[in-house]
Structure 1
Amino acid sequence: MKNILCYGDSNTFGFTLHGGRHPYDVRWTGRLQLALGPAYRVIEEGCGGRTTVFEDPIDLGRNGRTSLPVCLASHNPLDLVILMLGTNDMKHYFQNNAWSIGQGVAQLLHLIQTYPYAPNYSAPKVLVVSPIHIGPDVAHSPFGSFQPEAIEISKGLAAEMQRVAEQAGCAFFDAAAVAGPCDEDSIHMDAANHAALARALEPLVHQLLD
């Protein structure tokens, strides 16, 4: 069995304003599992508010660098890590740009590749997924920590993340090429966009693991 760790934020968790969380078979991780079949195990590790490497002064425990080693250890052996973070790094109080968010991703890639899996396990492959863009009406979103400057920052993430992924020898995919945010909050994917992302990732997983 091939084990795939999906490490991300609320769009991996499957957050929705309608009920708190999409059902398992609606979330992109669940849809990916159903598409791949029993020869694969898709492990969800989505946490709302999770950043790449930044400590959130309001939402505690969201630093992705802090929790990633625990996930790598507890879910061994791993064949692939799908890393989709960066959206929460665009919160206004972090004052980040696309470059600094890319550097956060680079640190996580280094952590995954140098983590001491030995003596029993080898390092997994990594697929970096640049997150969907922030929607145009984010200023009216119920999540007030995102301001209009996040719209343009989000559009610059793919280039930076592709660059750091290639430097680390990792695969890359731009989620914004196939999916986007819902109109209600300009941040989270609806069911149709979860489905679109899962469809796009399935052949990439086969390409990396088969």
Structure 2
Amino acid sequence: MKNVLCFGDSNTFGTNPNRIGTRHPFDVRWTGRLAGLLGPDWRVIEEGMGGRTTVFDNPLEPQRDGIGALTVVLQSARPIDYAIVALGTNDLKEIFNASPRTVAAAAEFVCQTIERYPYGGCGPAPKILLVSPIHIKPGIENSPYVGFAADAAPRSRELARYYREVAERNGYLFFDASEVAEASDVDKLHMEAASHARYAEAVARILLDDAARAN
């Protein structure tokens, strides 16, 4: 069995844009759909959290920095064949004042931490799929999810070029989620069911194709 860790934020958690504080059902969110698409020879490990950043600590949302949770997650989830890193949206909050290039560097640090973790007898380190997030939609400054200024939307559109560079430089698999999925018009941030489905289908193709090449 191949084990896939999905380490992400609220769109990995499956936050439902139509009802604040709720979550899409397992068979709707992309991680659940991915499990169905990959089949019984794969195990999908959900690790999504609303507000999670790459490395930044937000005093208004404590203990949401991905790097702080990562070692516990890796210890618990190992062995891991693939690690999907789907972070960066929350790094665009006004409090961090982080450029898209800085966000990509922070995502790279998360990926490198996964590579360098001592997996012991549960090694080797997993192959990494780095995901550039969906775009934040204009009007996010009026969303019920506070913390984003108006410039978060255009800055989110710049992430993919830097994420792609990180993936190419390190030999990671890469997926630009904005090519197949989008944020809801309701809250400008989270995916509806149709986008979760397209997201899952794209990720499944990447993983299955890579596994086939490895064999």
TM-score (norm 1): 0.97
Aligned equivalents of 1:207 and 1:68: distance in 2?
A: 27
SS at 1:184 equivalent: coil
Q: Deviations over 1:19-74 (max 9, x none)?
A: 60000000000000011110000100000000000001101110100111111110
Q: Structure 2 regions of 5+ residues with no counterpart?
A: none
1:113 aligns with 2:130: no
Residue 138 of structure 1: aligned partner: 140
* Identity across matched positions, percent: 47
1:200 aligns with 2:202: yes
Residue 5 of structure 1: aligned partner: 5
Structure 1 counterpart of 2:207, which letter? V
Measure how far apart 1:136 and its partner are: 1.5
Residue 177 of structure 1: aligned partner: 179
Measure how far apart 1:119 and its partner are: 3.6
Aligned equivalent of 2:66, options 64, 67, 81: 64
Measure how far apart 1:199 and its partner are: 1.0
Q: Deviations over 1:83-108 (max 9, x none)?
A: 10000000011101101101101111
- Is the contact between residue 78 and residue 122 of structure 2 (CA under 8 Å) also seen in structure 1? no
Aligned equivalents of 1:205 and 1:119: distance in 2?
A: 24
- Is the contact between residue 51 and residue 88 of structure 1 (CA under 8 Å) also seen in structure 2? yes
Aligned equivalents of 2:207 and 2:50: distance in 1?
A: 24
Residue 14 of structure 2: aligned partner: 14
Q: Deviations over 1:93-130 (max 9, x none)?
A: 11011011011011111101111112441100000010
Structure 1 counterpart of 2:9, which letter? D
Q: Structure 1 regions of 5+ residues with no counterpart?
A: none
1:127 aligns with 2:112: no
Moved more, 163-172 or 48-57: 163-172
- Aligned pairs, number: 210
- Is the contact between residue 180 and residue 199 of structure 2 (CA under 8 Å) also seen in structure 1? yes
Residue 55 of structure 1: aligned partner: 57
Aligned equivalents of 1:196 and 1:119: distance in 2?
A: 36
Structure 1 counterpart of 2:167, which letter? A
Measure how far apart 1:197 and its partner are: 0.4
Aligned equivalents of 1:120 and 1:90: distance in 2?
A: 35
Residue 86 of structure 1: aligned partner: 88
Moved more, 134-143 or 171-180: 134-143
Q: Deviations over 1:153-185 (max 9, x none)?
A: 100000111111111111101000000000111
Measure how far apart 1:144 and its partner are: 2.2
- Is the contact between residue 132 and residue 180 of structure 1 (CA under 8 Å) also seen in structure 2? yes
Structure 2 counterpart of 1:20, which letter? T
- Is the contact between residue 135 and residue 156 of structure 2 (CA under 8 Å) also seen in structure 1? yes
